[in-house]
């Protein structure tokens, strides 16, 4: 990811949504949400009560994931995914990557619920093994592409396939033909998925948004023809700015910003023929006063789109967000690195913080440097108090022996 000019260095943490000097009524009351490690891991644990048991039983759970009973397989897969989401397990991955990839290569014939676990597992192995699995991923990728383009499969399964394909393509895929095929599958998904205006149709909106982001990630390693095809698709992406679903509109806006940045880097001075039309639509989104949209959606839309509009108009740099990672700050200072970060968030949920601290593959991708050595764990408060009390008692005893003994005078 070095080519995306990611300047990761120690700096003040991000403290608010508005840029310095920008006056906007949304700045004070903008709503934001963030996953925390404990909260989100708890939310996906299901009936798992103790994470230590999950780590201790990783090998056993992998065996259960290959059981003949579907309920046993799904429970085993859930526990393996949970462990690999929460923190790195490099030794387990190194010993069992061939077995895991063989298991994942059966997802095409599995029920949607089980296939969804397998699709996520491919991405989880990729973020921990990196290029070490490059020769084992052809079949899982082929099956995920087939599922992603199959409208009869569960929309959440297809979304999981899009996320894992993006992660695998960027981190572990070394074949140009595979990158092209993956990009075409994601392009098919966002271009041919119909999203209704119903508030309940969040599944298809999520699929379109995820497929757009995954497509962008794949363009970073795509060949010349795929990039030219992406530029030709730009007018189709512009039409998504008018979608009834907020997630689709925001994903389309970020994708346009990515294409603007990507093509400016590839061909300095490049300009989309419909640039003025795009800016007009983005202006409408920033100033949207439609009563059909909720205040929360309009606020989120204004906050996200105003910086994108300024960037595409060449009035400002790419929107930048700083994320605190332990004692370091991860600077998401380009559209490309921001989209890949969001895709990684979709895969790892609340485990992202721990993974960025201890996962060598991800730290290399985000230019965070080698894993920092952790300081020795300090003694707990009760132990320290016990030591102090024992020292005080010994000191008092010594002083008592050394003190002059006065006899009583009658």
pLDDT at 48: 55
pLDDT at 269: 87
Bridge partners (DSSP) of residue 325 are: 328
pLDDT at 25: 41
Q: 151: which 2 tokens?
A: 């409208």
pLDDT at 52: 62
Q: Angle between the 112-129 and 70-86 helix axes, to the nearest 10 degrees? A: 30
Q: 388: which 2 tokens?
A: 């102090």
Tell me the C-alpha distance between 250 and 146, whole Å: 27
Tell me the C-alpha distance between 209 and 9, whole Å: 30
160, 148 contact by CB (below 8 A): no
pLDDT at 380: 64
194, 204 contact by CB (below 8 A): yes
Tell me the C-alpha distance between 90 and 58, whole Å: 12
Bridge partners (DSSP) of residue 322 are: 331
Whole-model pTM: value is: 0.80
Core vs surface per residue 365-375: b (16+ CB within 10 A) or e: bbbbeeeeeee
What does each C-alpha distance from 243 to 26, 151, 166, 226 come to in angstroms?
23, 20, 24, 25
Q: List per-residue pLDDT tens for the chain, 410 residues long.
A: 444 444 444 444 333 333 333 334 443 333 333 333 344 555 555 555 555 666 678 899 999 999 999 999 999 999 999 999 988 898 999 999 999 999 999 999 999 999 999 999 999 999 999 999 999 999 999 999 999 999 999 999 999 999 999 999 999 998 999 999 999 999 999 999 999 877 667 899 999 999 999 999 999 999 999 999 999 999 999 999 999 999 999 999 999 999 999 999 988 888 999 999 999 999 999 998 888 888 898 999 999 999 999 999 988 888 888 998 888 889 999 999 999 999 999 999 878 888 999 999 999 999 988 887 655 444 466 667 777 777 777 777 777 776 655 544 44
Q: 142: which 2 tokens?
A: 């082929």
pLDDT at 201: 76
Helix (H, G, I), strand (E, B), or coil: what is residue 311? helix
């Amino acid at each position: 990811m070095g080519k995306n000019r990611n300047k990761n260095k120690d700096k003040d943490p991000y403290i608010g949504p508005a840029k310095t000097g920008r006056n906007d009524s949304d700045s004070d009351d903008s709503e934001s949400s963030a996953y925390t490690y404990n909260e989100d891991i708890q939310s996906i644990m299901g009936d798992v009560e103790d994470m230590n048991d999950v780590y201790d039983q990783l090998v056993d759970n992998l065996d259960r994931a290959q059981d003949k009973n579907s309920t046993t397989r799904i429970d085993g897969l859930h526990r393996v995914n949970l462990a690999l989401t929460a923190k790195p397990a490099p030794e387990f991955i190194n010993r069992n990557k061939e077995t895991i990839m063989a298991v994942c290569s059966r997802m095409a014939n599995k029920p949607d619920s089980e296939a969804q676990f397998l699709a996520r597992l491919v991405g989880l192995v990729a973020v921990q093994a990196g290029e070490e699995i490059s020769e084992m991923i052809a079949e899982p990728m082929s099956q995920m592409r087939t599922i992603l383009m199959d409208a009869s499969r569960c929309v959440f399964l297809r979304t999981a396939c899009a996320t894992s394909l993006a992660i695998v393509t960027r981190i572990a895929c070394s074949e140009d033909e595979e990158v092209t095929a993956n990009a075409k599958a994601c392009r098919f998904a966002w271009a041919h998925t119909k999203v209704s205006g119903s508030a309940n149709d969040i599944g298809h909106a999520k699929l379109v948004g995820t497929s757009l982001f995954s497509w962008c990630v794949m363009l970073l390693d795509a060949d010349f023809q795929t990039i030219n095809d992406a530029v030709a698709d730009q007018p189709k992406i512009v039409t998504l700015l008018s979608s009834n679903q907020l997630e689709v509109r925001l994903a389309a806006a970020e994708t346009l910003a990515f294409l603007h940045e990507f093509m400016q880097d590839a061909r300095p001075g490049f300009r989309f023929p419909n640039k003025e039309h795009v800016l007009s639509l983005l202006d409408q989104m920033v100033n949207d006063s439609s009563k059909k949209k909720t205040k929360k959606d309009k606020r989120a839309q204004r906050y996200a789109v105003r910086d994108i509009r300024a960037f595409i108009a060449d009035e400002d740099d790419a929107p930048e967000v700083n994320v605190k990672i332990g004692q370091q700050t991860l600077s998401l200072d380009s559209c490309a690195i921001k989209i890949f970060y969001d895709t990684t968030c979709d895969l790892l949920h609340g485990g992202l913080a721990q993974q960025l601290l201890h996962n060598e593959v991800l730290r290399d991708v985000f230019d965070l440097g080698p894993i920092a050595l952790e300081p020795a764990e300090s003694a707990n408060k009760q132990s320290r108090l016990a030591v102090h009390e024992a020292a005080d008692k010994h000191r008092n005893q010594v002083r008592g022996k050394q003190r002059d003994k006065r006899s009583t005078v009658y």
